[in-house]
Every structure is written in structure tokens, then in C-alpha cells.
A and B are shown apart, each in its own frame.
Chain A
Amino acid sequence: MAGLVSRLYRGEVNVDFVGRQKLWYSLSAFLLVISVAGLIVNGLNLGVEFKGGSVFSFKAPSATIEQVRGTIQEAGAHQVIVQTTNNGWRVTTESLPEQEVTAVQNAVTKRFGGDVTLQVIGGSWGGQVADKAVIGLIVFMLAIILYLTMAFEWKMALAAIVALIHDLVITAGVYAWSGFEVTPATLLGFLTILGYSLYDAVVVFDMIKEVTAKLGTTSKVTYTQAANDALNHTLIRSLNTTLVAILPVAAILFIGTTLFGAGTLKDLSLALFVGMIVGTYSSLCVATPLLVTLKEREPRYRKIAERLAATGGAGAKTEGAKAARQTVTAGAAKAAAADDKRKKK
């Protein structure tokens, strides 16, 4: 283990990410199927903000927040948001059926005395807010495809978007199965993942682009090998970044919720935690293999692959990977030297 860490540190790892694409595709397909199944079977546990709910108002000057929350939860409500107003208490719950409404009212009256008024409210995040968010997402994806097509090429854009959808579906699946509440905070967590997932893919693709740009007809490596090499090259960065980003989130998820109980924090940090792990995984194991599959169909890369297969035989792959490193580093050095020259001028 220590050996692996130190090799990681020195950037000497060479994991065959691309070559194992069947494994990754199967794993992802499995996760996606489970997630979609969860979404169909369980659905998402949408919060009051989306679906609307019941608002109970009553006066109970001597009660504490915990007492109020406890009383109403015991009466059968699951989502309980307690607020104080200048008029007493205001408790928002999910839409309750009539008998549970009565149960809540009775419980409150019994415990604190006084009348309980009920108001049925619509979702403050329902309707237009949700619709516009969806429209925004679609436009955003189109804008990103356009941008990545310009900055890189359309195949990279496509691969990045597929990885993004992959991440979002799996994260949503985790919510469906865990039954965690989907609140506006969770939704915003999803949006964060969306940014993070793309960000990660872009950094990886940038390196792939740099490395594969040097492939010519006489190259000793295929596109697949070069891409895999680029992946290994950024592996340290990917792992470091994920670790740095995920440490605070993990702290909030595990420490925050054990010490301070469930709530918005838990709902939000779970989305981020899962999303970041899946996001890193998908950049390495979904987006890149997909890109490679697309690129290997291009005649010029297919020619390289055919030529190497004919000459190198079975050993071509590992030999090729070594050669790739050499090409890469040599190429990088050349580029750097050019930069130096420019600087001096």
C-alpha cells in the first residue's frame, strides 16, 4: 500500500483505465439500471417546498422547538419544519391526509392547549421555479456542448455530457433508494455536482487533447494508449482534487449529521458526497473510454491501431504504453522549450 502511495506520488502509476472499458461500462450500466429502478419503484421523496404541504399555526408560549417538533412527528408527520412567528408557532409538514391532520391538531391541543389553525400551501419551488430550472438545465447543456465543441471537439463534448447525465442519474438513484428528502438544498447540491462533474471531465480531456495532439501516422502508440497515458498523468490531480473537495463535504455529512442530527445538512451533503465520487469515477472510467471508442473510429487513428497490431502483435500494448510515455514526455519537453523561446523573445 505504501508502495502504491509513493508511486502515485511520483506519478508512476499506469492503470489501464481505457482497456477495462467493458468492466466500467458494465459497472455503470448496473448502477444506472439500479438507479432508474429506484426512481421508478420508490420515486423521490420530494420536500414540502416542491409538493406543498400543511401549515399548522398555534400559540404555545412555553414550548421549545424540540417539544413542538417531537409532538408533531409523533402525530405522524415526517417532514417537519418548525418556525416561530410573532404570533406563536408555525409548523410546515408534508401534505397530510385528513385523519393525520386531526391527529396533529389533537396532539398539539393536548400537549400545549389552544387552537390550531391549518393552512394548505402550495410549493414555493413547484411550478414555474422547477420548470425554469429544467429549461435552464437544457440550455446549459446545449451551451456546454457548444463550448466544448469549440474548445475541444464535439466528441469530447458528447462524452462529457454523457458522463454528466450518468452522474446525475446515479445520484438521484441514491436518493430514491435511501429515501432522503429532496429539498431545494438537495437540488442545489445536484447543480453543484453538475458543475463539478464537467469541471473534472474538462481537466482530464484537456490533458488527453494535449497528449494525443502529437499522434501522427508514424506514432508508436494508438489513440487508446495515448489517452490512457494522459489519464494516468492526471490521475494524481484527479485524486488530489477529489480528496480536497470531498473532505469538507464528508466532514459535514458524517460529523455534522452524527453530532447535530439529520436535516438539510444531511440531505445536501449526501448529494455532494455521492456526486463527487461518481463524478471523478465517470471522468476516468466513463467519459474517457467513451471518447476513445468514438475517436478510434476515425480513419487516422484506426490506421495507427491497425499498423501497430500488424507489427507489434500481442506485446504491442504494453510496449506501446511505455513508448507512449516517452513520446509524451519528449513532446512535452519540446513544447516547453518552444515556450521558453517565446518567453526570451
Chain B
Amino acid sequence: MLLVLLALILAMGGVMLLNKALTPEYGLDLAGGTTVTLQPITPDGSDPSEESLNLAVNIIRDRVNGSGISDAEVAIAGDNIVISVPGVGQEEVVKLVGTTAELRFRQVLAIGAGAPTPPGEMSTQAPTPSASPTATGGQGTPAPKPSATAPKPSETAAPSPTGSPAGRGLSSALTDPSPAASAQPGKGATPSAQARQNGTQNGTGAARQGKGATPSAAPSSPAPSTSATPSAQATPPAEESVAGIDLGGIDEAVLKEFQALDCSKKDRGQGAQDEPNKQFAGCSDDGSVKYILDKAAVTGTAIDSAEAGQEPSTGEWLVQLSFKGQGPEQWTKVTTTAYNSQEPRTQVAMVLDGVVISAPVIQEPITGGRAQISGGFTLETATELANQLKYGALPLKFEKGSIDEVSSTLGADQLRGGLIAGAIGLALVVVYSMLYYRGLGVVSVLSLAVATILTYQSVVLLGHFAGFRLSLPHIIGLIVSIGITADSFIVYFERIRDEMKEGRRTLRAAVEVAWVRARRTILIADAVMFIAAVVLYFLAVGGVAGFAFAMGLTTLIDIVVVFMFTKPFVALLARLKFFAKGHPLSGLDAERMSVQPVAGPKTVSQEA
């Protein structure tokens, strides 16, 4: 046991060294942090309702502190929302919390090139959307590969050459997640779609310019018959379907909007203002493609859970969704409709905050209420999107206000004072233990030392890997928990002394018998603490949850210390003559326990 514990401590120490994590991460009150002010924007410029602000605060709090242990604070300030996150350089938080994350699934009705593109430029890089001047890597995707016009018939994980989300696919998690399902290019099909568009529509300047690109797209297309090719050339039916383009069902106003839409402009996102009950003209998030989309078929509120995960065969990061309520039904319906439609209406677009983040071709109706978004994600971006989707959409759109780095709310003097006083208190505990328990005091002091080491290591490791932030209340809580740890072996020692008082067994036997009874008490009492910690951790939010986490942690450490250190150590000491013979300094001497050599119970009753 002792060796196991030693190994545990050394292992944790090793991990700490390997990760160069030697000090805990501190909370807002001790380390300061970054304060971000978000200003809500309403469509008509009116003040946001208090209700929607409160809702936004709750969602932001979940997003920024989903696990509840990072000690972040979110407050309403006037009409603004102020977020305080511990630690400096937390600008990425702004992105995480400020995004509305209004997700809608809409069937694609028509597609066009995102921007008016000079024909010359188009011809060099056509037919992929990478020709668009605004094409950015977005979402941490790989850099464009200029040579990618050559089709890769079976490579699926590699999106279109832009490396943009164009290559993102969507497939049912329940159906075989074969590459074909997710690799069918969504936006990759754009040029041909554009061609169709032009064929029936003598459109705007943008459309005419796009027309110029079409011929160059066609010749360079090797047109492989497999649908798995990620590049734009992969849509052989393009020419046939040009004539078959159907503008039916498209709202005139939306069509005009679509024609006027220039995705190369910076502010192409329409924010949360896309009405779910209306058709919508929007851009892909790299600006290379624009879409006319049908009414929302499924909205983000139908998302039950969202997790970042990896495609088992390719290792590609993706976001897995499952729907709830009406969601699965709606999802089956829209995928069935899309499957039975003509190009480009076989695509279902996923619109996040008014921007199309992916528009995969539906290979088959997807039942079962699960879906996955794949392509071009990294662990971070997949997790970020999953969190945004999981905790729901903000009811308001926000503009990023000021970002300030703030110092700690407590002076350094407070922390120092707390630590010094705590150290004095612990020293008193040590003195008291030694005076009262003599030899056994050594055990209690060593147990406390082990508990302290384990606690420190846990806090450091949790800070490094789980974002646990130590605040002043946590520190005080940890100091108090030392009392609880101490109680565990006080219970045990008193039991040993009870056994010894009965005077009929050796110390070695007493240590074992007392342990059986003390163990039950310790477990029941610790269970109470642990229930308190678990309930509060899961039900409370903000600092309360963080504190509950620390409470649960110390309770576990208490059990570890008592079971793996105190008990084995006492058993070890019991073999020593010093303790077994009841030396006056051992804390187990007969005189101090008023044990007469003859019979314990009788003596007790006489004195009582």
C-alpha cells in the first residue's frame, strides 16, 4: 500500500515535471484575468429585453465555464455583458462566447460563385472555388494546394483545394461513415452550379462574370465517375442538369437578394438575423460560394448533444450531433427530400449565424437523428463548435466591446496573509498532535503531509489539464479540509485506544480490529461530504460549482490518505517495540490510557 502510494505520488510528480506544470493555475481573485465587454445588437436598434440578456448570460456562462471549475464570471452591466476570465491573453474567449451559434439546417435551392471574379484569374485556378479572392483558410484548415485540380478519386478527408469548409461533409453517424458520404463536395460543385444558374438566368454582373469561368471549368474537368472526389470536377451530371435547373419555389425577393449578394465583402455574415421561416440567401464562410436556401428544416434548438470526435478510419476531427424532440423526424424528412431532388438541391446546408459552414450532398436519407459535421477541423475548432452548439444559441447578436486585462481583485497581501496564517495554523495542529498523540502524532503529521502533497499535485494537474482555477475560497476550503483529513485518523486513533483500553489484545491486533470499525465511520462520513460535493457541482453554477469540485477532490484524497497511508503506516509502527510495549512517548502507554493490567471494563466502571 505504502509503495503504491509512493508510486502514485511519484507518477503525478513525473507528469507535472514532464508538462512543466509546477504551480497551480490561480483564479480571478488571485491572478487577475481578462475582462471582455460584449454589446448586444438588435435588428432595430432597440434595447434588448432583460429576459434575452439573462438568457444570453446563462448561455455564455456555460460556454466559458462549461465544466464549472474555471472560475470565470459573467455579469450584466447596463445593456452589456461583461465576462471575466482568469488568466491573461484569453482573447480567444471572445470568439467562443460572442458567437451567436444560431444553427439551422436548410436545403440548398441554388448555388452561385461567391464573388465577382476576374475571368483571367478564374481561368488559372478554375474550377475550384479557391479562385475567390476572399477564400481564407478559416477554421484552421490546411493551406490551399494549388495543384489540387487534379482529382483524387478516393481521397476523402482532404477537402477541396481551398482547404476551406467547402470540403466539409455531413453524414449520418449511424450509416457507414464511409468516405464517400462525407467527401461528396458540397461547395465543390459550385462552378457547375453556377453554369446552370447562368444558363437559365441572364443575371446580374456577378452572374455574368461567373459565366466566363464556366467554360474553363468544364474542359479542365476530368470528370471521374466516382462521387468521392472532393474537387469540383466531381459532378459529371453537371451539363445534363443545366437545363434541368429549377428556380421554382424560390422566392423572388430572396432571388434578388441572392443576385445582389457579394460574398467577397468583409461583413457577409448576416448574424443571427436569418429568419428560420423564410428562404435565405447566404455565403459560405470562406466567401467563395453563395446559396439560396430553403426555410430552415431543423434548427439548433433541436440539438440534443454535440461532441467533438474523430473519424475512426482517417483520424479527421468532426462534430457529432444528435437531435431531440422533433429533430430526428425533421432531419429524416429534409435528407429524404434532398436525396430525391435534382442537383444542387441534393445538398443540405448548415447555416451557423447566417453563414453556410457546410453544405454536403445527401447520399441517402438519414434516419436515427444523428449527424456529423466533418472536414478541416482541428481538435480546438471542433470542440469550440461543439460547445457553441451544445449550450445553445444566444438570443442576441453581440459586438465585441473593450477587452481589458485586469489585475487580481485581492491584493497580494491577502493571499500572503492567508498563506502565512494557514501555515501558522497548521504548525499549531502539528504541535497539538504531537503533544496529544505523542508517537502517533508522527503518523498524523506525516499523513497530513501526504495529504498536502497529493492535494497540491492534484490541483496543479487539474489546473493544467482541466482548467481548474484556484481561488482564495478554494485555498481556505483546502485548509479546512485538512481538519477533515485529520478527523479521519483521530477517529482511527481513538478506536485503537478503545481497543487498548480493553487491555486484552496486543497492539498489532488492536490496530486491525480498530481499523475495521473506524473504516466504516470514515466511509459514511466521507460519503456525506462527497454527496454534498457532487450535488452542488452538478446543480450549481459559477464559483459554487468550482468550490464543490474542490470539496469532492479533498474528500477523495482523504480516503486515499487514510486507506493507503495512515492505516498501513500504523500497522507498520505496531511492529516496533517502541509502540507495542507502550512506551510513555508512544501515545499508547498503559498509564496514560488508565489501563490496569488486569481487566479493562471493570476499571472503567469503577472510575465512572
For this complex, 23 residue pairs linking A to B, each with C-beta atoms less than 8 Å apart, are A14-B608, A84-B406, A86-B405, A121-B77, A127-B57, A129-B543, A135-B539, A185-B472, A188-B477, A188-B544, A191-B551, A198-B528, A199-B529, A244-B433, A255-B421, A261-B417, A263-B410, A272-B480, A326-B604, A329-B502, A336-B499, A336-B513, A340-B505
Summed over the interface, the residue pairs from A and B with CB atoms below 8 Å come to a total of 300
Across the interface, which residues of B come within 8 angstroms of A144, CB to CB?
528, 531-532
B472/A268 in contact, CB under 8 A: yes
Query: With contacts A55-B77, A81-B409, A252-B418 known, is A199 near B528, CB below 8 A?
Result: yes
Which single member of B73, B82, B541, B600 contacts A128 (CB below 8 Å)?
Answer: B541
Question: Which stretch, B100-108, B240-248, B373-381, B518-526, touches the partner chain A?
Answer: B518-526
CB distance from B124 to the nearest CB of A (A): 46
A55-B77, A125-B543 known; 15 other A-B pairs, CB under 8 Å?
A9-B436, A10-B593, A83-B409, A132-B544, A188-B476, A192-B476, A195-B528, A199-B526, A248-B425, A260-B413, A265-B418, A325-B604, A326-B601, A333-B502, A333-B504
With a 10 A CB-CB cut-off, give which of A12, A83, A126, A137 has the most chain B CB atoms. Answer: A83
Task: Kindly list chain B residues whose C-beta atoms are within 8 Å of the C-beta of A259.
Answer: 417, 420-421
Interface residue ranges of A117-140 to B (CB < 8 Å): 119-129, 132-133, 135-137, 139-140
| Beta-carbon contacts under 8 Å, B66-122 to A | 73-78, 82, 84
* Known contacts A140-B532, A329-B600; A268 and B476 CB within 8 A of each other: yes
Q: B536: which A residues are within 8 A, CB to CB?
A: 133, 136-137, 140, 191
Closest CB of chain A to B217's CB: distance in Å?
51
Contact with B535, one of A136, A244, A250 (Cβ below 8 angstroms) = A136
Q: Is the CB of A251 within 8 A of B421?
A: yes
8 closest A-B pairs (Cβ-Cβ)?
A245-B483, A248-B425, A260-B417, A251-B425, A136-B539, A256-B421, A122-B76, A124-B75
CA distance in complex: A207, B286 (Å)? 70
Task: Check A75 for interface membership: any CB of B closer than 8 A.
Answer: no
Q: CB of B150 within 8 A of chain A?
A: no
B residues in contact with A128, CB < 8 Å = 54, 57-58, 61, 541
A residues in contact with B544, CB < 8 Å: 129, 132-133, 136, 187-188, 191
Report if A121-B82 is in contact (Cβ < 8 Å); known contacts: A202-B524, A325-B605: yes
Q: How far is the CA of A335 from the CA of B186 in the complex (A)?
A: 75
Q: Note all chain B residues with C-beta closer than 8 A to A245.
A: 480, 482-484, 486-487
> Are A147's CB and B487's CB within 8 A?
no
List, in ascending order, chain A residues with CB within 8 A of B512's CB. 339, 343
Report whether B414 and A252 are in contact in the complex, using a CB–CB cutoff of 8 Å.
no
For residue B417, which residues in chain A have a CB less than 8 angstroms away from its CB?
252, 256-257, 259-261, 265
Which stretch, B1-9, B194-202, B390-398, B489-497, touches the partner chain A?
A: B489-497
Q: Given A12-B594, A14-B608, do A264 and B57 touch, yes or no (CB 8 Å)?
A: no
Given A135-B539, A144-B532, A147-B528, A264-B479 contact (CB < 8 Å): no
Residues of B within 8 A of A255 (CB): 420-421, 424
Q: How far is the CA of A321 from the CA of B82 in the complex (A)?
A: 64
The residue of chain A having its C-beta at the shortest distance from the C-beta of B515 within the complex is A339
Residues of chain B lying within 8 A (CB to CB) of residue A140: 531-532, 535-536, 539
Scoring B75, B424, B517 by chain A CB atoms within 10 A of each residue's CB, the highest score goes to B75
Please, which residues of chain B bring their CB within 8 A of the CB of A329? 501-502, 600-601, 604
Q: Is A269 an interface residue when CB atoms closer than 8 A count as contact?
A: yes
* Cβ-neighbour of A196 out of B484, B502, B600, B601 (below 8 A): B484
Q: Does B498 contact A (CB under 8 A)?
A: yes
* A240 interfacial by beta-carbon distance below 8 Å: yes
CB pair B601 A330 closer than 8 Å = yes
Task: State the CA gap A229–B608 with chains docked (Å).
Answer: 11
Does the CB pair A192–B480 fall under 8 Å? yes
Report B-chain residues with C-beta under 8 Å of the C-beta of A261.
Answer: 413, 417
Question: Does A304 reach chain B (CB closer than 8 Å)?
Answer: no
Determine whether the beta carbon of A244 is less than 8 Å from that of B479.
Answer: no
The verdict on A332 contacting chain B, using a C-beta distance below 8 Å, is: yes
Q: Which residues of A contact B482 (CB under 8 A)?
A: 244-245, 248
B222 at the interface (CB under 8 A from A): no
- Contact partners of B541 in chain A: CB under 8 A: 128-129, 132
| Chain B residue contacts of A62, Cβ below 8 A | none
Given A12-B608, A132-B541, A124–B74 Cβ distance below 8 Å?
yes
B555: nearest residue on chain A (CB-CB)? A195
Alpha-carbon distance between A157 and B83 when the two chains are bound, in angstroms = 41
Q: For residue A207, which residue of chain B has the nearest CB?
A: B521
At the interface, yes or no: B35 with Cβ under 8 Å from chain A? Answer: yes
Q: What secondary structure prevails in chain A residues at the interface with B?
A: helix
Kindly report which residue of chain B lies nearest to residue A241, judged by CB atoms.
B487
Inter-chain CA distance A185–B27, complex, in Å, is 13
Once A128-B57, A322-B605, A336-B502 are accepted as A-B contacts, the answer to whether A123 and B476 lie under 8 Å apart by CB is no
Complex contact B483–A90 (CB within 8 A): no
Once the chains bind, are B483 and A248 in contact (CB under 8 Å)?
A: yes
Q: Name the interface residues of A230-261: CB closer than 8 Å to any CB of B.
A: 233-234, 236-237, 240-241, 243-252, 255-257, 259-261
Determine whether the beta carbon of B414 is less than 8 Å from that of A120: no
A140 to B531, alpha carbons, bound, how many Å?
Answer: 7
**Does B439 make an interface contact (CB < 8 A)?**
no
CB distance from B534 to the nearest CB of A (A): 9
CB-nearest residue of chain B relative to A205? B524
Contact of B406 among A83, A123, A241, A247 (CB under 8 A): A83
Bound-state CA distance A316–B592 (Å) is 31
List the B residue with the shortest CB-CB distance to A86. B405
Give residues 38-87 of A contacting B (CB, 8 Å).
Answer: 52, 55, 65, 81, 83-87
B408 within 8 A of A: yes
Chain A residues 200 to 220 lying within 8 A of chain B, measured CB to CB, are: 202-203, 206-207, 210
Q: Which of A11, A87, A133, A272 contacts B476, CB < 8 Å?
A: A272
In contact, A119 and B418 (Cβ under 8 angstroms): no
A187 neighbours in B (Cβ, 8 Å): 543-544
Q: Which residue of A lies closest to B476 (CB)?
A: A268
Docked CA distance A233–B501 (Å) = 13
Nearest to B482 among chain A residues (CB) is: A248
In the complex formed, the residue of A with least CB distance to B78 is A120
Q: Give B470 Cβ to nearest chain A Cβ, in Å.
A: 13
B542 contacts the other chain (Cβ, under 8 Å)? yes
Chain A nearest Cβ from B80, distance in angstroms: 8
Contacts of A241 on B, CB cut-off 8 Å?
483, 486-487, 490
**A195 and B529 contact, CB distance less than 8 A:** yes
Residues of chain B within 8 A (CB-CB) of A276 are 483
Contact digits for A300-337, partner B, Cβ 8 Å, 1 yes 0 no:
00000000000000000000011101100110110110
Residue A19 CB within 8 A of the other chain: no
A199-B529, A244-B433 are known contacts. Are A188 and B473 too (CB-CB below 8 A)? yes
Write the nearest CB–CB distance from B248 to chain A, whole angstroms: 48
The interface centre, meaning the residue of B416, B479, B527, B544 with most chain A CB atoms within 10 A of its CB, is B544
- Chain B residues, Cβ within 8 Å of A148: 528
Q: Check: A184 CB closer than 8 A to any chain B CB.
A: yes
Known contacts: A244-B429, A245-B486. The answer to whether A252 contacts B78 by CB under 8 A is: no
Residues of B within 8 A of A335 (CB): 517
Whether B576 sits at the interface, judged by CB under 8 Å, is: no
- Interface mask (A84-97 → B, CB under 8 Å = 1, otherwise 0): 11110010100000
Bound-complex Cα distance A135 to B410 (A): 29
B404 touches A86 (CB 8 A): yes
State the CA gap A10–B589 with chains docked (Å).
11
Q: Is the CB of A248 within 8 A of B405?
A: no
Q: Does B253 contact A (CB under 8 A)?
A: no
Knowing A132-B541, A329-B502, say if A147 contacts B421 (CB, 8 Å). Answer: no
Docked Cα-Cα span, A329 to B604, in Å, equals 9
Q: Does B547 contact A (CB under 8 A)?
A: yes
* A326/B605 in contact, CB under 8 A: yes
Question: A184 → chain B, closest Cβ, in Å?
Answer: 5
State how many angstroms separate the Cβ of A78 from the closest Cβ of chain B.
16
Cβ-closest chain B residue relative to A69: B411
CB < 8 Å neighbour of A202 from B421, B509, B528, B608: B528
Cα separation A85 to B494 with both chains bound (whole Å): 54
